[in-house]
Amino acid sequence: MSYYEKDKLKHLSKLKDLAPEQADAFERLNAEVFKDGAVSARDKEIIAVAVAHATKCPYCLDIHTKKAKAAGASLEELIEAAFVAAALEAGGAVAHSVHMQLALIEDAGDTIYKKSNMKKLSNMNHLAKDGFAAYNAFGAAAMKAGKLPALVKELAAVAVAHITECPYCIDYHSKQAQKAGATEEQLAEAILVAGALAAGGAYTHIANMIDSYES
């Protein structure tokens, strides 16, 4: 028995009868989000592959990998997108090391997310020098322009940061995306890709719930 079998997705067809209004609204969301706009449909699918690595939805990963391939994305581009997701997952964890440091200060105050908190991130240089150096090198390699241009990588990073819910990452990569030439419209569309993937992860797993209910 496997929890993830493509055949289980057939259960989603039942939503037309079980929840027709909601299923239709979800389909409209996907149609609008993934159409050509300020960000091309092709680049949106590449961004979706990155986001699917963060949401950890195997159904979404399979669906959007195939859609990205059909739109002309290469395997190398998709691998680079996956590494952006990996870098953002690492970045969200390491960026929050500043809260560990603040927790050890009795009079640190009650405001949790201050931009000035990030000044403490450099302390990792002496708290865990070698590991922090390797982390920085990994992030730089993942975000370096390659088969994917810096603009697409930064749009993907902003999208993934909205999934990892790291405000430091959102702030940093939004600014990096702007430096790479991103417009506010492109950033908004990338974020909506993240929203659609977040909804899609829940939506596709309805198939598992129906399968469990009926078995």
What confidence tens digit (pLDDT) does each residue in 60-106 have? Answer: 999 999 999 999 999 999 999 999 999 999 999 999 998 888 888 77
In a domain, 27, yes or no: no
Residues 159 and 196: their CA atoms lie apart, in Å, by: 11
What confidence tens digit (pLDDT) does each residue in 93-113 have? Answer: 999 998 888 888 777 666 667
| Number of domains making up the chain | 1
What pLDDT was estimated at residue 119? 86
Residues 95 and 178: their CA atoms lie apart, in Å, by: 21
Contacts of 188 (CB under 8 A, 6+ apart): 38
Range of the domain at 52: 38-94+145-214
- Going by C-alpha positions, the residue among 64, 60, 81, 72 that lies closest to residue 9 is 60
CATH number of the domain to which 56 belongs: 1.20.1290.10
In a domain, 207, yes or no: yes
Sort 178 into a burial class: Cβ within 10 Å, 0-12 / 13-18 / 19+.
Answer: middle
Please give the distance of CA 174 from its chain centroid, rounded to a whole number: 14
